[in-house]
Amino acid sequence: MIQSVILHLEDVGKQFPRSQTPAVQAVNLKLHEGDILGLLGPSGCGKTTLLRMIAGFEQPDTGTIALAGREVAGLDYWIPPEQRDVGMVFQDYALFPHLTVEKNIAFGLKNSKKKSSLGIQRRVAEVLELVGLSGYEKRYPHEISGGQQQRVALARALAPHPALVLLDEPLSNLDVQVRLRLRQELRDILKIAGTTAIFVTHDQEEALSISDWVAVMREGRLEQFGTPETIYQQPASRFVAEFVTQANFIPAKRRGDFWETEVGCFAINPYLVDAVTPDWEQLDRVELMVRQEDFILKPDDNAPVVIRDRQFLGRENHYSLQVPSGRELIARTSATTALPVGMRVKISVPENALRVFPSRRN
């Protein structure tokens, strides 16, 4: 079954008057019906500006934006937010404190010519059931929890059946435990509703767990676009590897069929090298990317690596490893076995877990 394209961005860019660098630069992407996209990146990378241009709160300087096959922004052409068929969930939820839950949700339906008063009541009841808040109709925002307020904001955005829902860091104001629970709830609600959605976050786990697709942004540009699995397992750049996977980088020299490092030698896998560094055979020095969970630690009195510190995190142990150069590597292992601080360990890594990037010294 071919899904229709709900959002199409082509060479979209934006630069604010007092800034010397663009906030968003030449962004191209397509999002299909029913898909959830996570816009991921550090503060100031342009993700919220891009979201605001899609919503219609900012006008792009370059490129075009099309929603459900209709162009809404382009050269000398711009449709205001209220005419874009887009729902918005703000970071602070923006609920009206003087209105009940049902009136907050109904607010966006009042101007609908397709809805009678009875139709509005029915739709409010539908979305309240969808977000698990049936029975809360008469309560005011201050009478419900932060997580419930977030679901009311989502229900209000979903009520008019928008083509696209935009969420700007919707979980950032919640406690950690509430955020973890609502991640799954948020995805379930959007999937049951069949809604296409984009949400902005700087939380890597949040983006990977909720999204069908992840777009990693850096300095206004789209650094990588792909499935959560591809982004995590096959980062296309060192920035993505560092920001998303929080990986270790180990300097290495090529010695025949091996990478020689200060913590040992690793076999070269040409397939994994070519994926990121096609000219690797011309490089004498590279950096091996190793995800924290891919390290295998084995006690060895003659090994060059020492456990400097260990943190018990419940389901896993988090190790700080000191290598001969004084650099620090981070490893995460199962909590079933704990190695003591001060122990020397030999490091090994599964062959297919290594990724290779050009050394910054080349």
What is the tens place of the pLDDT at every residue in 96-135?
Answer: 999 999 999 998 786 655 567 778 889 999 999 999 999 9
Helix (H) or strand (E) run with residue 126 in it? helix 117-130
The pLDDT of residue 111: 61
The pLDDT of residue 331: 96
Alpha-carbon distance values, 258 to 248, 279, 305 (Å):
19, 16, 20
Q: How far apart are CA 56 and CA 78, in angstroms?
A: 8
Q: How far apart are CA 34 and CA 26, in angstroms?
A: 25
Q: Which long-range contacts (CB under 8 A, 24 or more apart) does 220-227 make?
A: 220/13, 220/21, 220/22, 220/23, 220/24, 220/25, 220/45, 220/46, 221/25, 221/26, 221/27, 221/46, 222/27, 222/28, 222/29, 223/41, 225/29
Instruction: List residues bridging with 196 in a β-sheet.
Output: 164
What is the set of domains in the chain, with CATH numbers?
5-240 (3.40.50.300), 248-358 (2.40.50.140)
Q: Is the separation of the CB atoms in 225 and 198 below 8 Å?
A: no
Q: pTM of the entire structure?
A: 0.88
Choose between 6 and 113: higher pLDDT. 6
Q: Which two tokens stand for residue 277?
A: 């560094």
Q: What is the pLDDT of residues 143-184, one digit of tens each?
A: 999 889 989 999 999 999 999 999 998 888 777 777 888 888
Helix (H) or strand (E) run with residue 49 in it? helix 47-55
Place of tokens 């292992």: 333
CB atoms within 10 A of CB 215: 24
Pick from 126-130, 212-216, 282-286, 351-355: least confident: 282-286
